[in-house]
């Protein structure tokens, strides 16, 4: 184990020998406050483009209306099934929402494996159908285990991909949820541009062994905002920093050109992962970001996500280490087949390496497994690389979140913004320093604000149940039809398949 004396000696040597050279490589990953403010402003412009009638069709940040118009007010209750597809795991949950003050939400959940060949697809329509057959099969299994196969419980679906819709409810086949594009590691062919609810309903019907009422389909950001909103009524932003990254927030109806009506607010799914797809972040992308993109399943897409989210962070670090080793800056130039293998450094490793106490020991273990025979200085240098890469991610997210918060502040016309951000995602939750760095930078970028960050304890699946409960409450009040008739979308292509 690297003890503190060894650590200090190594650090002194590292400082003399390598730190300037390391910084040469990573200089462009260190973003000054000035640059972050600039990114924040660029993002604000993208948001405006996404909201505007004339600019939306070509905007990269899509700003999708979700038709969620308020957060839960606590009156919701019932027994729900929630599906959660698109994060690190595919989960199915049973969520009971009661009026019980002590334990208002009870949950049971199960994680299901999704085979890689189903996730990736293969260029035929068959694969797309297989993905939904798989979801339907897992749902059947879950209902069997819960002994509810004979019931027709309302189902909420957290589907963590960019989708356009005309209505939060999925009753009529006409009001579907159209997937615009796959992101992260998903690429099941034949699904883009089709209605997710129709696909799932079809798969369930084909089985014929149970029935399900798919009531609502929500993005995971919306689920997170709803879940946190259940505990804190001030919650008006939901963000995910996990495999992918994204945010939603409550926007004034008068600013949403895509939807009729000017009164009140509606939740907008920003889909900020696509920020930069039009070249607006080109000056900030490094050679490593370009390499990640080239090797991805969706080149040219989700460029901001590729700089910041958990799916790519470990790989970014690996690419940097390979280059440094090639130039003799690390491991005395040793390069092993393991080090050269894509995916060998994962984001969970970056998190482990950055742990204050045992980080260096972990680093030694991880690098030893890669066969590079690291020295103490190597471990420190690699820790330094990890810190720069993960810090950049937290800073980038702080800038885009800052964009949303400053817009909220302007919308409200207040001198000081008091708000709550619901937040979830494996990177945010698992990385030892990430949350602290993010919070600090957000406060620096939006100084006139009191922002509470609320961790969504039980993941976005519960959020799907919350939205379903919310839909049912609306329905019961018979307000729904009235309410929604005001908000029919102007963009017809959103709901035509």
By the rule CB under 6 A, 240 interacts with ligand BGC? yes
Active site residue 141: no
Regarding 270 and contact with ligand BGC (CB under 6 A), the answer is no
Name which of residues 213 to 232 contact ligand BGC (CB under 6 A).
219-221
The three-point CA angle 465-471-477 to 5° equals: 140
CA distance 424 to 183: 18
Nearest approach in angstroms of CB 411 to ligand BGC is: 22
Judged by CB under 6 A, the residue of 56, 158, 165, 246 near ligand BGC is 246
Total binding residues for ligand BGC by CB under 6 A?
18
Burial of 102 (0-12, 13-18, 19+ CB in 10 A): exposed
Number of other CB atoms surrounding residue 194 within 10 Å: 16
CA atoms within 13 A on the CB side of 258: 29
165 binds ligand BGC (CB under 6 A): no
Where does this chain touch ligand BGC (CB under 6 A) — which range of 49-57, 160-168, 328-336, 364-372? Answer: 160-168
Question: Which string of x and - marks every residue 282-321 that binds ligand BGC (by CB under 6 A)?
Answer: -----------------------x----------------
CA distance 60 to 50: 7
Q: Is beta strand 64-65 parallel, antiparallel or unpaired with respect to 265-269? A: antiparallel
- Judged by CB under 6 A, the residue of 160, 270, 347, 400 near ligand BGC is 160
CA atoms within 13 A on the CB side of 490: 12
Q: Indicate which residue of 18, 49, 220, 293 is catalytic.
A: 220
Per-residue b/e over 272-297, b at no fewer than 16 CB within 10 Å? bbbbbbeebbeebbbebbebbbeebe
Question: E strands within 98-212?
Answer: 105-112, 154-159, 163-165, 177-179
Q: Is 117 a catalytic residue?
A: no
Strand-pair category, 265-269 with 245-252: antiparallel
Eight-class DSSP state of 382: H
- The answer to whether residue 376 forms part of the interface with ligand BGC (CB under 6 A) is no
Catalogue the long-range contacts made by 287-295 (C-beta closer than 8 Å, 24 or more residues apart).
288/316, 288/319, 288/320, 288/323, 289/316, 291/319, 292/316, 292/319, 295/342
The residue from 62, 177, 184, 462 that is catalytic is 184
Q: Is 183 in the site for ligand BGC (CB under 6 A)?
A: yes
We find the least distance from the C-beta atom of residue 239 to ligand BGC, in angstroms, to be 9
67-86 residues in contact with ligand BGC (CB under 6 A) are 86
Binding window for ligand BGC (CB under 6 A); candidates: 104-112, 115-123, 129-137, 242-250: 242-250
Residue whose beta carbon is closest to ligand BGC: 244
Please pick, from the candidates 176, 238, 273, 489, the single residue that binds ligand BGC as defined by CB under 6 A: 273
Assign 343 to helix, strand or coil: coil
- Rounded to 10 degrees, what is the CA torsion of 412, 415, 421, 427? 130
Which CB sits closer to ligand BGC, 161 or 288? Answer: 161
Confirm or reject binding of residue 238 to ligand BGC (CB under 6 A): no
Q: Shortest gap between Cβ of 142 and ligand BGC (angstroms)?
A: 21
Q: Which of 50, 87, 238, 489 binds ligand BGC (CB under 6 A)?
A: 87
Residue nearer to ligand BGC on the CB measure, 86 or 461: 86
Point out the residues that are catalytic: 184, 220
Footprint of ligand BGC (CB under 6 A)? 86-87, 160-162, 183-184, 219-221, 240, 242, 244-246, 271, 273, 305
């Amino acid at each position: 184990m690297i003890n503190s004396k060894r650590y200090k000696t190594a650090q002194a040597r590292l400082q003399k020998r390598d730190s300037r050279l390391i910084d040469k490589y990573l200089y462009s990953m260190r973003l000054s406050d000035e640059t972050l403010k600039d990114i924040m402003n660029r993002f604000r412009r993208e948001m405006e483009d996404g909201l505007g009638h004339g600019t939306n069709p070509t905007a990269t940040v899509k700003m999708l209306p979700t038709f969620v118009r308020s957060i839960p007010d606590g009156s919701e209750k019932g027994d729900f099934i929630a599906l959660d597809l698109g994060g690190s795991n595919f989960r199915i949950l049973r969520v009971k929402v009661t009026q019980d003050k002590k334990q208002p939400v009870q949950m049971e959940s199960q994680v299901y494996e999704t085979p890689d060949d189903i996730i990736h697809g293969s260029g035929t329509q068959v694969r797309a159908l297989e993905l939904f057959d798989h979801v339907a099969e897992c749902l059947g299994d879950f209902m069997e285990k819960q002994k509810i196969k004979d019931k027709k419980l309302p189902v909420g679906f957290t589907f963590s991909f960019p989708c356009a819709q005309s209505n939060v409810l999925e009753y009529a086949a006409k009001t579907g949820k159209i997937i615009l594009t796959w992101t992260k590691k998903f690429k099941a062919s034949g699904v883009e541009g089709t209605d997710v609810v129709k696909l799932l309903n079809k798969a369930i019907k084909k089985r014929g062994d149970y029935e399900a009422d798919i009531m609502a389909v929500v993005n995971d950001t919306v689920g997170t905002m709803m879940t946190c909103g259940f505990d804190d009524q001030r919650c008006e932003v939901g963000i995910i920093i996990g495999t992918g990254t994204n945010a939603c927030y409550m926007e004034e109806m008068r600013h949403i050109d895509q939807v009729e009506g000017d009164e009140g607010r509606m939740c907008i799914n920003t889909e900020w992962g696509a920020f930069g797809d039009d070249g607006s972040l080109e000056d900030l992308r490094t050679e490593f970001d370009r390499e990640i993109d080239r090797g991805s399943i969706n080149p040219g897409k989700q460029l901001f996500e590729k700089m910041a989210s958990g799916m790519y962070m470990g790989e970014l670090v690996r690419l940097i280490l390979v280059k440094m080793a090639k130039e003799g800056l690390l491991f005395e130039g040793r390069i092993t087949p393991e080090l050269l293998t894509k995916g060998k450094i994962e984001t969970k490793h970056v998190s482990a390496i950055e742990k204050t106490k045992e980080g260096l020991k972990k680093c030694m273990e991880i690098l030893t497994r890669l066969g590079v025979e690291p020295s103490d200085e190597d471990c420190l240098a690699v820790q330094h690389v990890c810190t720069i890469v993960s810090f950049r991610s937290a800073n980038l997210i702080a800038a885009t979140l800052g964009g949303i918060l400053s817009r909220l502040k302007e919308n409200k016309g207040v001198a000081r913004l008091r708000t709550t951000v619901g937040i979830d995602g494996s990177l945010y939750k698992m990385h030892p320093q990430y949350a602290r760095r993010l919070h600090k930078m957000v406060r620096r970028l939006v100084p006139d604000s009191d922002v509470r960050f609320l961790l969504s304890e039980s993941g976005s699946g519960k959020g799907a149940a919350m939205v379903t409960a919310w839909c049912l409450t609306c329905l019961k009040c018979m307000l729904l039809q009235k309410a929604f008739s005001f908000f029919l979308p102007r963009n017809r292509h959103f709901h035509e398949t």
